[in-house]
Structure 1
Amino acid sequence: MTEDRLVAVLVTPSIARAAPPGVDATEFLMALAEDTYELVAGLDFVSPVLVTSVPGMEEIVWPGTPVVEIPDLSGSALVEAAFTALPYGKQAVLLSGDAPDLPPLLIGKLFRELGRAQIAVCPAAEGGAVAIAAHLPYPGWASAGFDDLDPIKTLRASAPGSRMVARGPGWHRLRAPDDVRLLDPGLEGWDNTRALLSR
């Protein structure tokens, strides 16, 4: 059932800081968040959720998608609050809202890793994580943030067993203005971001 598996897009104010020169920061945040949400909403066999500390994000989601508001946090506290706020589900992928061109296949691979691990991570280029997948409820021993230098190492150090944390394929996020160069023009999707940057 799709209710068993959630993919939650995490949108925080920090996404706006990556807006390139000449691009409105709020529009940039909205474009990235909407594109990341759209790739999730188009997946089969999962339910999309939007978890956010940015007001007004209801306008980017399809009708019926839960929009969960959380405080503006950072680090492991943000990850823990986001997982705790999820309305239902047995497994969830928490996806950073600044990965608009993520290939959907990578989300499927994280769920596959949960078949043998308690947590699975899609590492980000230059350190950190693009997505963190976990069985729910989120394990109490897990303490890592999206921008930790090496969240997999951090999680494995605190895990009760060495095989409880799996590594999925990596990708990139847009965390600084220059990072728009990482966007893959050959990939489908990320239409809002593409249109905004080509104005």
Structure 2
Amino acid sequence: MDRRVVVLVVSAVGTWAPPGRSPEAWRLALAEDTYEVLASLDRVDVAVAVVGGEESSVAEVSALTWPGTPVYSVGPTRPVLDALSGAGPAAAAVAVSYDAPDLPGLLIGKLFRALSTADLAVCPSEDGGQVAIGVNLPVASWVVAAEPTFDTSLSELEQLKPRRHAVAIGPGWHRMRSPGDLARLDPGLEGWDATRAILRGA
């Protein structure tokens, strides 16, 4: 099987938001923009996993997606691995955190290419975690034991890997998790329209 899957992993509740903005509206705007990046990729199937979401949370996220996109709930214990397994059979899959609205799609392509030799491929976040995590399927036993999340650091993965090239590290990017992250958004770039509208107060 050569099917490739990208899964957007969305928090069921809003956390940080820019001053004066609703955390819930901010969460959905980020999720919508990140989804649009993934939906524009060629030769991949896209799904969305809502972490700890009840039926209402899944429904509101589903409303942001194109018809036919699978949207499902996963538990908070193993959000990344459960999100990837919920997307169905595939040769490789990449989970992407919802709070990267201006993520270049080519970075996801680099992760899939890296998985030709690695068990795990990551796009590091500037805050020390991960923006995206890719795996070959079935998932290697050491990756299952590691239970990586978007908060797992590179140093943790380096300590756990069983061989030198088991982990591939792609170019890094940023997530929207604090006021300082807003400065990383480039107004000159196309895309991230929902996020831009929230920042403008629309």
The TM-score with structure 2 as length reference comes to 0.89
> Cα offset for 1:187?
1.9
Match of 1:90 in 2: 91
2:47 counterpart of 1:43: no
Looking at structure 1, the residues matched to 165 and 105 of structure 2 have their Cα atoms a distance apart, in angstroms, of 25
2:15 counterpart of 1:11: no
Contact 1:36–1:100 under 8 Å retained in 2: yes
Amino acid at match of 2:31: A
What is the aligned-residue identity percentage? 45
Contact 1:52–1:68 under 8 Å retained in 2: yes
Contact 1:10–1:96 under 8 Å retained in 2: yes
> Cα offset for 1:139?
2.3
Amino acid at match of 1:146: F
Match of 1:64 in 2: 68
Looking at structure 1, the residues matched to 72 and 139 of structure 2 have their Cα atoms a distance apart, in angstroms, of 17
Contact 1:41–1:48 under 8 Å retained in 2: yes
Deviations 1:160-189 (A, max 9, x none): 211111000000001124422221222221
Contact 1:83–1:138 under 8 Å retained in 2: no
Match of 2:186 in 1: 184
> Cα offset for 1:85?
2.0
Match of 1:131 in 2: 132
Looking at structure 1, the residues matched to 174 and 139 of structure 2 have their Cα atoms a distance apart, in angstroms, of 24
- SS at the partner of 2:5? strand
Where structure 2 has 5 or more consecutive residues not aligned to the other structure, the ranges are none
Contact 1:36–1:98 under 8 Å retained in 2: yes
Where structure 1 has 5 or more consecutive residues not aligned to the other structure, the ranges are none
What do you get for the CA RMSD once the two structures are aligned? 1.7
> Cα offset for 1:82?
1.9
Match of 1:32 in 2: 30
> Cα offset for 1:156?
2.9
Q: 2:167 aligns with which of 155, 165, 168?
A: 165
- SS at the partner of 1:196? helix
Match of 1:113 in 2: 114
Deviations 1:76-110 (A, max 9, x none): x2222222222231111100000000011111111
- SS at the partner of 2:63? helix
Match of 1:21 in 2: 19
Q: Which runs of 4+ in 1 moved over 3 A?
A: none
Contact 2:9–2:80 under 8 Å retained in 1: no
Q: 2:155 aligns with which of 141, 150, 153?
A: 153
- SS at the partner of 1:11? strand
> Cα offset for 1:12?
0.9
Contact 2:33–2:191 under 8 Å retained in 1: yes
Looking at structure 1, the residues matched to 126 and 3 of structure 2 have their Cα atoms a distance apart, in angstroms, of 30
Contact 1:17–1:177 under 8 Å retained in 2: no
> Cα offset for 1:122?
0.3
